[in-house]
Amino acid sequence: MREFASPQTAAVDQRARVHDDLLLVAGATPDRVLYRRPAPSGWSEVTARAFHDDVRAAASLLGGAGIDAGDRVVVWGRASYGWAVADLALSYLGAVSVAVFDTADAATIASVMRSTGARAVIVDDPSRSATLDAEGGASALPDFSRWSWHSGRLERDVAVTPLDDAELDRRRDAVRPEDVATLIFTSGTTGSPKGCVLTHRQLCASVQVQAAEFEALTGPEAATVIALPLAHVFARTVQLVALRTGTPVAHLSDVRRLVEDLATLQPTFLLGVPRLFERLVTTVSQRATADGHGRRFDRGVQVAIDVSRAREDGEVPLWLRGREAWYERAVFSGFRDALGGRLRWALCGGAPLGERLTRFLDGAGITVLEGYGLTETAAAVTANVPGDVRIGTVGRPLPGVRVRVAEDGELLVAAPQVFAGYWHDEEATAAVLSSGWLHTGDLAEIGHEGHVRIIGRRRELLVLASGKQVSPEPFESQLRQHPLVDQCLVVGDGRPYLGALLTLDKPAVVAWARERDLPTRRRHLVRRPELRAELQRAIDELNAESSPAEAVRRFTVLPVTWSEDGGQLTASQKLRRTRVSQAHGAEVEALFAP
Domain boundaries, the chain: 16-219, 461-591
Per-residue pLDDT at 139 = 55
* Residues 6+ away with beta carbon under 8 Å from 5: 397, 401, 402, 403
Which CATH superfamily, name and number, covers 461-591? ANL, C-terminal domain (3.30.300.30)
187-230 residue pLDDT tens: 655 556 789 999 999 999 999 999 999 999 999 999 999 988 99
302 backbone φψ class: left, alpha, beta (φ>0; ψ -120 to 50): alpha
Per-residue pLDDT at 103 = 83
Per-residue pLDDT at 538 = 95
Per-residue pLDDT at 564 = 83
The neighbour count for residue 290, using CB atoms within 10 Å, is: 10
* Residues 6+ away with beta carbon under 8 Å from 538: 479, 482, 485
The mean pLDDT of 342-366, rounded to a whole number, is: 92
Summary mean pLDDT of the chain: 91
Per-residue pLDDT at 485 = 94
The Cβ-side half-sphere exposure at 407, using a 13 Å CA radius, reads 0
Residue (of 452, 435, 415) closest to 205 by Cα position: 415
Write down the H helix ranges in 390-444.
426-432
Q: Are β-strands 485-491 and 469-470 bridged in parallel, bridged antiparallel, or unpaired?
A: unpaired
Lowest mean pLDDT among 166-170, 243-247, 472-476, 587-591: 472-476
Q: Looking at this protein, which amino acid is placed at residue 162?
A: P
Q: Are β-strands 249-251 and 224-226 bridged in parallel, bridged antiparallel, or unpaired?
A: parallel
pLDDT range class, residue 424, cuts 50, 70, 90 = very high
Under a CB-based contact definition with an 8 Å cutoff, are residues 392 and 360 in contact? no
CA dist 187 and 495 (Å) reads 29
Under a CB-based contact definition with an 8 Å cutoff, are residues 375 and 184 in contact? yes
Q: What residues form DSSP beta bridges with 180? A: 199
471: pLDDT strictly greater than 90: no
The mean pLDDT of 472-499, rounded to a whole number, is: 92
pLDDT range class, residue 273, cuts 50, 70, 90 = confident
Write down the H helix ranges in 117-149.
126-134
31-49 residue pLDDT tens: 999 999 998 888 999 999 9
Under a CB-based contact definition with an 8 Å cutoff, are residues 577 and 459 in contact? no
CA dist 568 and 393 (Å) reads 27
Per-residue pLDDT at 138 = 55
CA dist 428 and 535 (Å) reads 42
534: pLDDT strictly greater than 60: yes
| Three-state DSSP class for residue 280 | helix
553-563 residue pLDDT tens: 999 999 999 98
566: pLDDT strictly greater than 70: yes
| Three-state DSSP class for residue 532 | helix
Query: How far is the CA of 472 from the CAs of 34, 109, 456, 518, in angstroms?
Result: 41, 32, 8, 32
Write down the H helix ranges in 484-552.
506-515, 522-525, 529-544
Name the CA dihedral angle for 544, 548, 549, 553, rounded to a multiple of 10 degrees: 70
CA dist 297 and 91 (Å) reads 47
Per-residue pLDDT at 36 = 96
Indicate the class that CATH gives domain 16-219. Answer: alpha beta
Per-residue pLDDT at 346 = 96
229-268 residue pLDDT tens: 999 999 999 999 999 999 999 998 777 788 999 999 999 9
pLDDT range class, residue 152, cuts 50, 70, 90 = low
Residue (of 185, 180, 228) closest to 203 by Cα position: 180
* Residues 6+ away with beta carbon under 8 Å from 284: 259, 297, 335, 338, 339
186: pLDDT strictly greater than 90: no
425: pLDDT strictly greater than 60: yes
CA dist 521 and 548 (Å) reads 35
CA dist 328 and 337 (Å) reads 12
Query: How far is the CA of 183 from the CAs of 65, 198, 200, 401, in angstroms?
Result: 21, 6, 11, 22
State the DSSP code for 257.
Answer: G
Per-residue pLDDT at 427 = 94
490: pLDDT strictly greater than 90: yes
How many whole angstroms from its chain centre is CA 584? 27
Ranked by mean pLDDT, the top range of 118-132, 148-162, 576-590 is 576-590
Under a CB-based contact definition with an 8 Å cutoff, are residues 211 and 238 in contact? no
429: pLDDT strictly greater than 60: yes
The mean pLDDT of 161-176, rounded to a whole number, is: 97
Q: Are β-strands 396-397 and 379-383 bridged in parallel, bridged antiparallel, or unpaired?
A: antiparallel
Predicted TM-score (pTM) of this structure:
0.86
The neighbour count for residue 315, using CB atoms within 10 Å, is: 9
Q: What residues form DSSP beta bridges with 414? A: 402
Per-residue pLDDT at 127 = 79
The mean pLDDT of 325-345, rounded to a whole number, is: 97
Per-residue pLDDT at 47 = 98
| Three-state DSSP class for residue 445 | strand
